[in-house]
Amino acid sequence: MEFTARVIADYLKGELEGNPDVKVNAFTKIEEGKPGTLTFLANPKYEKYLYETEADIVIVNKSQPVTGRVKSTLIKVDDAYGAFATLLELYHASVPEKTGREEPAYVASSALLGEGVFVGVFSCIAEHARIGNQVKIHRQVYIGENVKIGDRTVLYPGVKVYRDCVIGCDCILHSGAVVGADGFGFAPQSGADFKKIPQIGNVVIEDRVEIGANTCIDRATIGSTILRRGVKLDNLIQVGHNVEIGENTVIASQSGISGSSKIGPNCMIAGQVGIAGHIVIAEGTKIGAQSGLNSSVKEPNRAIMGTPAFDYTGYMKSSVIIRKLPELTKRIDELEKKTAVNNG
């Protein structure tokens, strides 16, 4: 598909500077821009590429100063990143959606499928599953007994949803995600043996949740593991049994949340964060990368980092001191030698 700068500017309600008739048919990063493509500049540290890019159209913030010669046509908007995202959504919506059922695929006779559902080849929908309207079940997806999936949810190839789990509307589950596997429950026995504790609960995922590739969400021992409305999980995340994640919380890759912990709404958790079991994290908490939490965060809207995690500002000050430790150690050694000589 091909669009002119004028059409794009009108759609975004932006200010146009340059050739309104230039046409683009693809997106690109600003540092890799080439003729026929559209890009954007939102981060000022990439400003130099505004004057170097070969992209025909660049979306920029209205506040962005232009201090050199620009070869591209500019579309000025209030939020360049948001405007670019809007165009990507428009492009994505233009891709034809699949419907119907590919063969071979297994759909149990007791399963109920809504209107406009797509079922990909080698997928399995087990007994008494309930699938909403416009759901996309791509190839090699497994949906277990009594699973409920809301309207317009997308399950990409290789997703596995175990029995009794519930997924809301407008969710996205990426390839390899596993919902409802057993939680890590084992009771120590005499000697070195462990007895497996049956995990008889389920997972409940509310509306507009996105789950990254190869992320695992364990079923509850009793009750439900719950992801509230608007939660976004990156790839390769482990969510333990009976965890609850609050609305609109986002968690980056390789983080792990131990069983029965409760994370409040609107939290931001960076990559490789480890959260111990049975703790509570207050609303709006921000946790820096590679942090470890072994106690609750009771005060809302704190920024913390480190292992064990503490106030972000204090952590950064400590980091400066740690970097100076070799120099401080050397100075202490020299002072000890001088003291020994003087006392001798």
pLDDT number for residue 32: 94
Domain count, the chain: 2
End of a domain among 60, 94, 128? Answer: 94
- Within-domain flag for 342: no
**What tokens appear for 178 in the block?**
């596993």
- Within-domain flag for 334: no
Question: Does 82 share its domain with 109?
Answer: no
Question: Does 301 share its domain with 183?
Answer: yes
**What tokens appear for 237 in the block?**
């995340």
Catalytic residues: 241
CATH number at residue 69: 3.40.1390.10
End of a domain among 50, 68, 94? Answer: 94
Question: Does 105 share its domain with 173?
Answer: yes
CATH number at residue 197: 2.160.10.10
Q: Give the chain's largest Cα–Cα span.
A: 94
End of a domain among 77, 94, 111? Answer: 94
- Range of the structural domain that residue 43 is part of: 3-94
Question: Does 177 share its domain with 241?
Answer: yes
- Within-domain flag for 248: yes
**What tokens appear for 16 in the block?**
């146009």
- Within-domain flag for 291: yes
What does each of the 344 residues of the chain score in pLDDT, given as a tens digit? 789 999 999 999 999 999 999 999 999 999 999 999 999 999 989 999 999 999 999 999 999 999 999 999 999 999 999 999 999 888 877 777 888 899 999 999 999 999 999 999 999 999 999 999 999 999 999 999 999 999 999 999 999 999 999 999 999 999 999 999 999 999 998 878 999 999 999 999 999 999 999 999 999 999 999 999 999 999 999 999 999 999 999 999 999 999 999 999 999 999 999 999 999 999 999 999 999 999 999 999 999 999 888 887 888 888 888 888 888 888 888 888 888 777 76
- Within-domain flag for 60: yes
- Within-domain flag for 333: no
- Within-domain flag for 321: no
Nearest residue to 34 (alpha-carbon basis) of 49, 20, 45, 48: 49
pLDDT number for residue 57: 97
Question: Does 228 share its domain with 166?
Answer: yes
d(CA 253, CA 258): 15
- Within-domain flag for 55: yes
Question: Does 60 share its domain with 153?
Answer: no
Residue 37 near residue 59 (C-beta atoms within 8 A): no
